Amino acid sequence: MSSIVPLAEAILDEGSRSPNWFNGRLVTAEAMQQDRKAVREGLRSLGRIVGGGVAFGLEVSDAVGQSTPTKPVVTIRAGLAVNARGHVLRLCADAAISLLTVRSTDPGTGNGFKDCTPAQAGVYVAGEGVYLLAMSPAAAKQGRAVASGLGNAPVSCDAAYVIDGVSFRLVPVPLTQAVLDDVAHLRNRLAYAFFAVEAASAAAKDPFGLAPVSESPLQALIGTRAVTDCDVPLAVVYWTATGLQFIDMWAVRRRLMPGRERRQVETHAMCAQFRQHLTDLLAAEASPTSTVATDHFRYLPPFGTVPLQRAPLRGFLEPSFFANVVRRPAAGSGQATEFIDGRLLDTAAEQALTHAPIDLTQKEFIWVYRPWQNVKASFDGEPVQPFVAFLSGLMPDLATARFDMARADYSDYANCCGGS
């Protein structure tokens, strides 16, 4: 333990050092570098307060027209992110990134990223597997500055600029063969493995017991130092010998995340991941009206929306999609889905962020609703996409008639008011 410090005495041992400038002080390269370092340390402190994650942009997609099965290429949109150490990483323009060639970069060249070790160079072999695509800080020196006293010979310290940039790399995700063999559920199971839902379930079962031993694949990679807090995860890529099978951003992509909001941010990612997965599934299915949720999803987020078929708009068929799911009214019962006021959906989505995901293998009950505004617009012939919203059964029922607020024929009037 350190020595006792009197009240109001400044503690300076670990303080940031910045040069004290005054008229007559000799300006040296060392003093200027120290000044720059102090500014960066202050900005990094702000970055750590904001929390690591993606601020905007940096969406990852298959580079159509440039990518081939043996030489896959992805497009990464311009954007901004902050890593766990507070570094701000900025991609100024859209970039096409080859997943085969890895160039060795050295981010420790006087650029303020010295605490981030460079990624190991190498070439990835196309084969069945799952990879984490991460963005890391990088830098390079450019140009030559006018200098005196160094002679005409080039020296390593006369670079005109140090440019901060980023680099991208793939990290193999270790998965069991049983998970890889379950191709139909692979994307969903993979996403919820990164959400660490099994550890959360264990904690809910015995909060006073031993800490759950299960961890997410990202935590495992961090534990082996394959991924560090210098990296910002952007997407999970499933790559086989026939090419890219899917790119799932929200399995690992997170918003800027102060520590106290981590669980809500994780749940937001679950909802966004489901929406992206469902969109890709709708585009890939030849006959989406026969799609059954349990054929593709082990877990559902605590809130989600499902587009329904209405020619010429493609969508799913509600009884088929929710087959084998415990709900009210029961699928195939002939009863109409309950209605809610669509203005409640935003509030329900926000409240859902504090709830656990839905485990379909446990036959958990869920609420399924149709917003009456959407139903009425469709009935009136407006070109709207019909949809249903589902919520965790742990949330309160929203289909409640409200006097002078909701129409009785578009609400669960019988259940709320004792009718039959």
pLDDT tens-digit series, residues 249-302: 999 999 887 655 778 888 999 999 999 999 999 999 989 999 999 999 999 999
The answer to whether 31 touches 17, Cβ cutoff 8 Å, is no
Instruction: Work out the pLDDT band at 126, boundaries 50, 70, 90.
Output: very low
Distance CA 86, CA 138 (A): 14
The answer to whether 50 touches 201, Cβ cutoff 8 Å, is no
| pLDDT at residue 246 is higher than 60 | yes
Q: Which residues, in sequence order, are CB contacts of 195 under 8 Å at separation 6+? A: 216, 251, 266, 269, 270, 357
| pLDDT at residue 107 is higher than 50 | no
Domain locations in the chain as residue ranges: 42-113+125-144+159-260, 285-417
| More reliable by pLDDT, 302 or 211 | 302
Q: Residue 243 has what pLDDT?
A: 85
The answer to whether 352 touches 303, Cβ cutoff 8 Å, is yes
Q: Residue 419 has what pLDDT?
A: 40
Distance CA 248, CA 61 (A): 9
| pLDDT at residue 237 is higher than 60 | yes
Instruction: Work out the pLDDT band at 177, boundaries 50, 70, 90.
Output: confident
pLDDT tens-digit series, residues 61-100: 999 889 888 888 999 999 999 998 888 999 999 999 998 8
Side by side, the strands of the sheet bearing 73-76 are 60-62, 73-76, 95-98
Instruction: Work out the pLDDT band at 23, boundaries 50, 70, 90.
Output: confident
The answer to whether 80 touches 55, Cβ cutoff 8 Å, is yes
Stretch 346-357: mean pLDDT, rounded? 91
Amino acid present at 312:
P
Instruction: Work out the pLDDT band at 105, boundaries 50, 70, 90.
Output: very low
| pLDDT at residue 378 is higher than 60 | yes
